[in-house]
Amino acid sequence: MIEQRLSELRNEIPKDVTLVAVSKTKPSSNIQTAFDAGQRIFGENKVQELVTKHEELTDEIQWHFIGHLQSNKVKYIAPFVEMIHAVDSLKLLKEINKQALKHHRTIDCLLQFHIAQEDSKFGLDFESAQEILTSREFVEMQNINVTGVMGMATFTTNEEQIRDEFQNLENYFNVIKSHYFKFNNAFKHISMGMSGDYKLAIEEGSNMVRLGSTIFGER
C-alpha cells in the first residue's frame, strides 16, 4: 500500500519537486517500508518522536523537522536533522546556529511565512523576515543555511483562496531571492502543499511538498 502510493506519487509529481514523506504518528515500520521503496526524506513535527525514530532507523534517512520548534529543544535534533522547515524568529535561528556549530554541522532552514487567514498558524510576515535577513547577527551565522521558504494555506475548500495564499508565498520567495540571495544557488526551496492541496501548490510554484496521509493513510 505505502509502496504503491509512493510510486503513484513519483509518477504524478514533477521531477524537480522534492517529496517529503510526513511520517508523524506513524510507526517506524511504516518508515522502513517507505525507505525500502526508495524514499529518503521524512518529515516529523514532534522533537521526542523524531529523536526516537532517528535512533530506531538507518542513518541514511534525511530527517526534516516540519513543526513548530521551541528554541530549548533544538539541541536534541541538532546532531542529525537535515532541514528545519518552520523557522519563524531570529531567536530560533540563533539557537539552531549555536547547536549546529557544537556538532560541526550546517543545518538547512526555511523561513516560515504566515500565509493563511487562520490566526492559529505560525509564521513570519514579510517585514519581520526582512528584519531577520538584514540583521548583523544573521549575516554572521556560519552554521545555518537559509535555503528557502515554507508556508501552510488555510484549511478550506475555497480553491481560489488557497491559490492566492500559495501565490503570496511564491512572491515572498522571489522578492527575498532577488534582494538577499541573488547569487546563492542554495536558496531555492518553496515548501508548500500537503495531502489536501499539493496539486494546487505545485501549479502555483511549489518545489517541495510535505505529504503524510496520502502516503501513510489517515492519522
Q: What is the DSSP string of 17-86?
A: SEEEEE-TTS-HHHHHHHHHTT--EEEES-HHHHHHHHHHS-TT-EEEE-S---GGGHHHHTTT--EEEE
Residue 24 engages ligand PLP in binding (rule: CB under 6 A):
yes
Q: How far apart are CA 106 and CA 97, in angstroms?
A: 8
| Residue of 13, 22, 47, 153 that binds ligand PLP (CB under 6 A) | 22
Residue 99 engages ligand PLP in binding (rule: CB under 6 A):
no
Q: Residue with the closest Cβ to ligand PLP? A: 212
Q: How far apart are CA 87 and CA 17, in angstroms?
A: 21
Size of the residue set binding ligand PLP (CB under 6 A): 13
- The least CB distance from residue 24 to ligand PLP, in Å, is 6
- The least CB distance from residue 81 to ligand PLP, in Å, is 15
- The least CB distance from residue 190 to ligand PLP, in Å, is 14
A 10 A CB-CB count for 66 gives: 26
In the bound state with ligand PLP, the residue whose beta carbon lies nearer, of 67 and 148, is 67
- The least CB distance from residue 44 to ligand PLP, in Å, is 9
CA atoms within 13 A on the CB side of 159: 5
In the bound state with ligand PLP, the residue whose beta carbon lies nearer, of 87 and 141, is 87
Among candidate residues 80, 36, 20, 72, the one with its CA nearest the CA of residue 54: 80
Strands 18-22 and 62-65, by their bridges, are unpaired
| Residue of 54, 67, 166, 169 that binds ligand PLP (CB under 6 A) | 67
In the bound state with ligand PLP, the residue whose beta carbon lies nearer, of 19 and 141, is 19
Partners of 191 in the β-ladder = 150, 208
Q: How many residues are recorded in the chain?
A: 219
Instruction: Look at the alpha carbons of 214, 193, 210, 208 in this order and tell me if their dihedral is positive or negative.
Output: positive
Residue 213 engages ligand PLP in binding (rule: CB under 6 A):
yes
Residue 154 engages ligand PLP in binding (rule: CB under 6 A):
no
In the bound state with ligand PLP, the residue whose beta carbon lies nearer, of 194 and 200, is 194
Residue 96 engages ligand PLP in binding (rule: CB under 6 A):
no
Residue 196 engages ligand PLP in binding (rule: CB under 6 A):
yes
Q: Return residues touching ligand PLP (CB under 6 A).
A: 22, 24, 45, 66-67, 194-196, 210-214
